[in-house]
């Protein structure tokens, strides 16, 4: 498919807590597509984005927006409204994947294991005894340690390991800055892996599995973005039969959540138990990000991966037009 006749807009930045990461992804994509001789412009997304898209007259949107507008379905809905193909899952898949609670509900309905959790609500925090009762439930039903997560943040922002009941109570109160709903998940002593998924509809490809070996107890924001704080092993050091099962479960997860073009499924492997933690509908896209690493192991140069994503976005748009 010839991309020479298309103007590509790399949409990045935005207003989420992942803005700086998004700008790095956007810059890497922009520079690589420029090197390939394509007509490309980088756009820092703000609330006037529809006017900017009209002014720039782009033909395809390469979405490098992480969190918020980018992974929640907002920018996808704008692109749909404006008739512009885009390089991510559609509105429904994006909205499901950004919400960890919605993701868990879909996975459970599909018979896919996900770590047990309890849900903490900010609106109930002022109720007498709520905080103490919730912490006690966590102790009884999940045990310590646990992982505290905001429901709608990416890049492990706001994620914390909690080892004691009293610590949980104080962390719950401070973590409501990340949203009105929090998840408290059972800590599973396991091997953490991630699987990139590339493709459309039923034609999906599971990329080589990456094992994530953090130096810290959990793979948190600091560990993820500080050089030398984690080791990434490709292929993951898990048994061959488990390896195949992990890829199969990642593909099932992607289909269940309506994810396509590109996604990344984060998974915990505990002996024979395989737990899906969450799904990323717009994973990091610098040359050293996890999906490009996996794609490189599968034989895709970074430029090949980006062009493949653009081609898939056009293919989806053409199939939609023919319906």
In a domain, residue 320? The reply is no
Cβ–Cβ under 8 Å, residues 291 and 283: yes
Residues 48 and 169 in one domain: no
Residues 170 and 260 in one domain: no
278 a catalytic residue: yes
How far is Cα 254 from Cα 106, in angstroms, rounded to an integer?
Answer: 11
Q: What mean pLDDT is predicted for residues 111-127? A: 90
202 a catalytic residue: no
Total number of domains in the chain: 3
In a domain, residue 318? The reply is no
Catalytic residue (choose from 90, 284, 289, 296) = 284
In a domain, residue 317? The reply is no
Tokens 């319906």 belong to residue:
323
Q: What mean pLDDT is predicted for residues 128-150? A: 92
Catalytic residue (choose from 59, 80, 167, 225) = 225
Query: Taking the model in full, what pTM does it have?
Result: 0.91
Catalytic residue (choose from 71, 159, 260, 278) = 278
26 a catalytic residue: no
Residues 43 and 154 in one domain: no
How far is Cα 5 from Cα 100, in angstroms, rounded to an integer?
Answer: 39
280 a catalytic residue: yes
Mean pLDDT for the chain?
Answer: 90
264 a catalytic residue: yes
Give pLDDT, residue 305: 97
99 a catalytic residue: no
CATH code: domain of residue 45: 3.40.50.20
Domain that holds residue 239: 96-113+189-310
How far is Cα 218 from Cα 19, in angstroms, rounded to an integer?
Answer: 23
Q: Which pLDDT tens digit goes with each residue over 281-302? A: 999 998 889 999 999 999 999 9
How far is Cα 25 from Cα 289, in angstroms, rounded to an integer?
Answer: 9
Tokens 């006037």 belong to residue:
48
Name the nearest CA neighbour of 285 among 268, 272, 270, 303. 303
In degrees and rounded to multiples of 5, residue 301 shows phi and psi of -65, 160
3-state secondary structure of 177: helix
Residues 102 and 240 in one domain: yes
How far is Cα 63 from Cα 75, in angstroms, rounded to an integer?
Answer: 8
Q: What mean pLDDT is predicted for residues 142-170? A: 83
Residues 107 and 210 in one domain: yes
Q: Which pLDDT tens digit goes with each residue over 95-115? A: 999 999 999 999 999 999 999
Catalytic residue (choose from 264, 293, 296, 316) = 264
Residues 164 and 217 in one domain: no
CATH code: domain of residue 124: 3.30.1490.20
Catalytic residue (choose from 22, 88, 155, 281) = 155
How far is Cα 58 from Cα 73, in angstroms, rounded to an integer?
Answer: 19
Residues 58 and 196 in one domain: no
Alpha-carbon distances, residue 9 vs 27, 86, 276 (angstroms):
12, 9, 33
Tokens 């997560």 belong to residue:
149
Residue 321: pLDDT band (50, 70, 90) is low
3-state secondary structure of 231: strand
Pairing of the two strands 117-121 and 60-63: unpaired
260 a catalytic residue: no
Q: Which pLDDT tens digit goes with each residue over 175-220? A: 777 778 889 999 999 999 999 999 998 899 999 999 998 776 665 5
Q: Which pLDDT tens digit goes with each residue over 248-266? A: 999 999 999 999 999 999 9
Percent of the chain with pLDDT over 90: 71
CATH code: domain of residue 251: 3.30.470.20
Give pLDDT, residue 320: 66
Name the nearest CA neighbour of 192 among 151, 145, 233. 233
In a domain, residue 40? The reply is yes
Residues 194 and 289 in one domain: yes
In a domain, residue 2? The reply is no
Q: Which pLDDT tens digit goes with each residue over 17-40? A: 888 889 999 999 999 999 999 999
Alpha-carbon distances, residue 242 vs 115, 158, 233, 280, 317 (angstroms):
18, 31, 16, 22, 36
Look at residue 226 and tell me whether its pLDDT is greater than 80.
Answer: no
In a domain, residue 323? The reply is no
Residue 233: pLDDT band (50, 70, 90) is very high
Q: Which pLDDT tens digit goes with each residue over 269-282? A: 998 899 999 999 99
In a domain, residue 254? The reply is yes
Question: Does 67 or 43 have the greater pLDDT score?
Answer: 43
Residues 218 and 303 in one domain: yes
Residues 29 and 40 in one domain: yes
Assigned token pair, 254: 């992607």
Residues 215 and 168 in one domain: no
Residue 155: pLDDT band (50, 70, 90) is low
In a domain, residue 319? The reply is no
Angle, CA of 197, 184 and 253, to the nearest 5°: 20
Name the nearest CA neighbour of 29 among 46, 12, 15, 4. 12
Neighbours of 143 (CB within 10 A): 11
Residues 108 and 214 in one domain: yes
228 a catalytic residue: no
Give pLDDT, residue 162: 92
Give pLDDT, residue 14: 86
């Amino acid at each position: 498919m010839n991309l020479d006749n298309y103007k590509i807009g790399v949409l990045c930045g935005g207003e989420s807590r992942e803005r700086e990461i998004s700008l790095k992804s956007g810059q890497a994509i922009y520079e690589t597509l420029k090197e390939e001789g394509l007509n490309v412009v980088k756009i820092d997304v703000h609330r006037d984005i529809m006017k900017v898209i009209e002014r720039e007259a782009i033909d395809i949107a390469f979405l490098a927006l992480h969190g918020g507008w980018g992974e929640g379905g907002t920018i996808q809905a704008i692109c749909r409204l404006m008739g512009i193909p885009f390089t991510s899952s559609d509105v429904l898949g994006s909205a499901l994947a950004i919400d960890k609670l919605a993701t868990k509900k879909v996975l459970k309905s599909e018979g896919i294991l996900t770590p047990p959790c309890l849900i903490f609500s900010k609106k109930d925090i002022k109720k007498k005894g709520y905080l103490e009762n919730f912490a006690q439930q966590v102790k009884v039903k999940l045990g310590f340690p646990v992982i505290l997560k905001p429901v709608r943040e990416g890049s492990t922002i706001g994620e914390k390991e909690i080892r004691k009941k009293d610590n949980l109570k104080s962390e719950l109160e401070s973590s409501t800055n990340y949203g009105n709903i929090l998840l408290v998940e059972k800590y599973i002593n396991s091997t953490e892996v991630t699987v990139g998924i590339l493709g459309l509809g039923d034609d999906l490809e599971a990329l080589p599995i990456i094992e994530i070996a953090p130096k810290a107890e959990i793979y948190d924001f600091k560990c993820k973005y500080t050089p030398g704080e984690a080791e990434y092993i490709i292929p993951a050091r898990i048994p061959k039969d488990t390896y195949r099962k992990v890829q199969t479960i990642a593909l099932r997860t992607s289909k269940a959540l309506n994810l396509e073009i590109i996604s990344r499924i984060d998974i915990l492997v505990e002996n024979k138990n395989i737990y899906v933690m969450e799904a990323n509908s717009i994973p990091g896209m610098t040359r050293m990000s996890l999906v490009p690493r996996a794609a490189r192991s599968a034989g895709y140069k970074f430029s090949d991966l980006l062009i493949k994503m653009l081609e898939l976005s056009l293919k989806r748009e053409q199939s939609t037009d023919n319906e």
